[in-house]
Amino acid sequence: MHESLFAPLRLGGGQVEVSHRVVMAPLTRNRASEPNLCPHGDHVDYYTQRASKGGLLISEAVSISPEAVGYVSVPGIWTTEQVNAWRNVTDAVHKKGCSMFMQLWHTGRVAHKSFGSHPLLRKSGMALPSVSASATRMVHPRSGKPLPTETYVEGAVSETPRALRRDEIPRLVSDYVCAATNAIHAGFDGVEVHAAHGYLIDQFLQDGVNKRSDWYGGSVKNRCRLLFEVVEAVSRAVGPGKCSVRLSPTTIDPQTGQQNQLYFAASCSDPDKLYAHAVKGLNAYPLAYLLLTEPRWWGGRADGDAKSDKRFNIPLSNKKYRKLYHGVLMAAGGFTPGKAAQAVREGHYDMVAFGRFFISNPDLPERIRRGSPLNVYDRATFYANTNNGGGSDGYTDYPNLTGTMGTQGKYKLIEQSEIGSSLPKSKL
């Protein structure tokens, strides 16, 4: 089934070749060891379960430095111990004939300053959260109230970040380079620069957050400057075909006339102009791929669980960037197998990354190929952080088709036909 998803493809730069187009999206799971923020044996099992011959996995978002940390029990890549721990993961994944990229993450203003009390961060000597493009607080777009934020302190809300000084930008770029180099040393086949979803680089892109008046603010060109500097430096450090980028373009909802997706209140006055410039500019770099996140809100409605997802079927709002980007283009965000196959078959995207259903189906590519039922995911265990128990529930206990992994019969099944199979027509 869905033959378009099972054609081989060589990623940009020729460093990685895949035998199918079903990619595991980067998925934060909050299960790193404490206080060292390392992956461990459960991570080895989790990723190995989801590795397939000729496949591609993208790691959960990984903090590039102590300053970058913005979530509880999220792994890092700045210490030797972390590098060595990640090597255990990549070695196991490679034994199954699968490639793996690491997503590089700096949360920016999403972080809370109390992270500075974490033992691993406290001894770093680095500037600590929260920093951003400007001193703009993360607040609800209508009420103006500070948004809640995650930290080791209960009930925390967002605070006004410190604006990064211009003379700190080279150091920030260097942090990305060091993290990317560490990822390659840890055995990853490449890295993905997280420039989406309201985190630091995206905060520079969005003029609702970025109020700078220097070379990194104001015009679209200036707001994209940090993105391009990071991508150029990382690409130079790791080599062609080993760097990729994730962006989250926003569009106008034709039903409401409103911007349909605000990640952590990061708004933009003209997203189409911004992302057209960003996407076209990324053609200058030897990227493995560019990943664009499709919106998951439409008409004021968000997706729910696996059962309600069968009615959640939005148009492809970002396919317009296909004409602007000349390399391998990947999509993520609310895709069903049928919708993904159609998007690839019609040439809008070359690959599709799955999140929720890759969590619940370690053998997702094979299930899609066969048209087999899918395990229904349990949202309650998505973010069971290490401090609150973590464990195998909802992590390594989802079964495969052959019964060789996970707990058989623990999760309900849903037919692929029940979660949608076609794309609605878009007016965009």
Catalytic residues: 199
How large is the angle between the packed helices 169-185 and 225-238, nearest 10 degrees? 30
Q: Distance (Å, rounded) from C-alpha 390 to C-alpha 383?
A: 8
**Tokens of residue 374, six digits:** 């899918």
Assess contact for 27 and 102: CB atoms under 8 A: no
Residues near 272 by Cβ (< 8 Å), separated by ≥ 6?
Answer: 249, 251
Supply φ then ψ for residue 56, to 5 degrees: -135, 125
CA-wise closest residue to 113 among 148, 151, 61, 147: 151
Q: Is 207 buried (19+), middle (13-18) or exposed (0-12) by CB count in 10 A?
A: buried
CA-wise closest residue to 140 among 266, 321, 286, 3: 266
Supply φ then ψ for residue 129, to 5 degrees: -55, 155
Supply φ then ψ for residue 164, to 5 degrees: -65, 130
Report cis status (omega within 30 of 0) of the bond before 161.
no
